[in-house]
Amino acid sequence: MGSKERILRQKDDTRRKILDAALDMIKCEGCDALSMRKLAEHIEYTAPAIYEYFENKDALYVELARNGHLKLVAMVKIAKDAHTGAVQQMEAMWLAYWSFAITYKELYQLMFAVGTGCCPVENQISEAKLFPEMVSDVIRMLYLPHEASGEEIQKKYYTYWAIIHGLIAINMIQLTRDEKMNQEILIDAIKGINALITG
């Protein structure tokens, strides 16, 4: 490996280390507690060294959220590809979405500003469109043989998302039910919306 490649790899490693440390701090102390100075101390860097990679705390949030959206899409795609029927794909995709939110709770909270002091960054990230686009493609399949306008597809997507994101947010802010009950509620919600679309 040449020196140029080695330098680029070291920069990538450092950037990843900064992001991992920032997410660890958010997990332990919350969004509001994160500062560039504390982050630098946490990984034993100088603050100016961190600023070489991220101009401010908001830039860190955006990059963490971008990574979260990519991870979410990867999980959902695996779930979707395991099925051929649109109804089964829809159920699997939203179950994968739920699983992502529970597995990567702090990342999900950051991505959608759930129960945090962080500002929503979704509009700043083009990757945030990938999941809605994937779900919308399956909604289009559910609508067949009827033609559906882009506006109708978008409404259906937001119906799914509002219900499922709402269930997730309630559980993140105040856990009141066990996981089995949550899964049953989630599946009932998905099946109910599917029935409205296909019926």
Task: Supply the Cα-derived Rg of the chain in whole angstroms.
Answer: 19
Q: For residues 134 and 90, give the distance between their C-alpha atoms in angstroms, rounded to a whole number.
A: 10
How far CA 49 is from CA of 4, 9, 29, 66, 144, in Å, comes to 19, 16, 22, 22, 54
Expressed as residue numbers, the domain containing 38 is 1-55
pLDDT in tens, 54-88: 998 888 888 999 999 999 999 999 999 999 999 99
Single residue among 34, 55, 76 that ends a domain in this structure: 55
Total domains present in the chain:
2
Given CA atoms 144, 145, 148, 152 in this order, what sign does their dihedral have? negative
More confident residue, 196 or 38: 38
For helices 57-81 and 130-143, angle between their N-to-C axes, nearest 10 degrees: 30
Asked whether residue 33 carries a pLDDT value surpassing 70, the answer given is yes
Same domain, 16 and 65: no
